[in-house]
């Protein structure tokens, strides 16, 4: 078993339900090939640094999974055949990368939990300035 991480860019013309559908399709493929999905991240609509297929933005999606190595080529073949996918990148994660991604996940989690607290802290010093 190896750990992999794949990022792909979806066509920005798609509706949100279509995006969910395609992401689920790939997740299903990984689980059906005895892979285990560790984490998914949706980066949302992002501006591309340069146009790809005359498109200036795209939906980024990240899937981290562990599986046998032979499914990667099949997964990439599906990406290549899929017109909705503008770009894809699959990387093998070494032990340092694994530690890094775990840290990143914890950071994102704590960020998702704490936004209300941070806002309160920000607003406190501002109030006396206004008064």
Partner 1 sequence: MSKIEEQSSGGNQGEIRYLTPLNIATVSKKKYCRFKRSGIKYVDYKDPDFLMSFINDQGKILPRRITGTSLKYQRKVSLAVKRARHLALLPYIGDLVKEE
Contacts with partner 1, residue ranges (CB under 8 A): 7, 9, 48-50, 52, 58, 60, 62, 87, 89, 91, 94, 96-97, 99-100, 104
Distance of closest approach, residue 43 Cβ to partner 1, in angstroms = 9
Distance of closest approach, residue 32 Cβ to partner 1, in angstroms = 26
| CB 23, CB 61: distance < 8 Å | yes
Distance of closest approach, residue 96 Cβ to partner 1, in angstroms = 4
Relative to beta strand 2-10, strand 85-92 is antiparallel
| CB 40, CB 23: distance < 8 Å | yes
Nearer to partner 1, 28 or 55 (CB): 55
Distance of closest approach, residue 105 Cβ to partner 1, in angstroms = 12
Nearer to partner 1, 34 or 56 (CB): 56
Return the H-helix or E-strand segment holding 109. helix 95-113
d(CA 35, CA 74): 13
65: exposed, middle or buried (C-beta count within 10 Å: 0-12, 13-18, 19+)?
A: buried
Nearer to partner 1, 34 or 100 (CB): 100
């Amino acid at each position: 078993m190896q750990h992999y991480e794949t990022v792909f860019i979806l066509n920005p013309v798609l509706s949100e339900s279509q995006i969910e559908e395609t992401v689920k399709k790939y997740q299903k493929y990984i689980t059906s090939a005895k892979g285990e999905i560790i984490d998914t991240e949706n980066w949302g609509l992002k501006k591309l640094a340069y146009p790809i297929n005359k498109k200036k933005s795209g939906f980024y999606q990240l899937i981290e999974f562990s599986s046998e190595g032979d499914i990667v080529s099949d997964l990439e073949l599906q990406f290549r055949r899929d017109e909705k996918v503008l770009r894809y990148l699959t990387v093998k994660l070494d032990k340092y990368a694994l530690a890094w991604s775990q840290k990143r996940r914890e950071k994102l989690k704590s960020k998702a939990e704490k936004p209300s607290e941070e806002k309160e802290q920000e607003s406190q010093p501002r109030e006396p300035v206004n008064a």
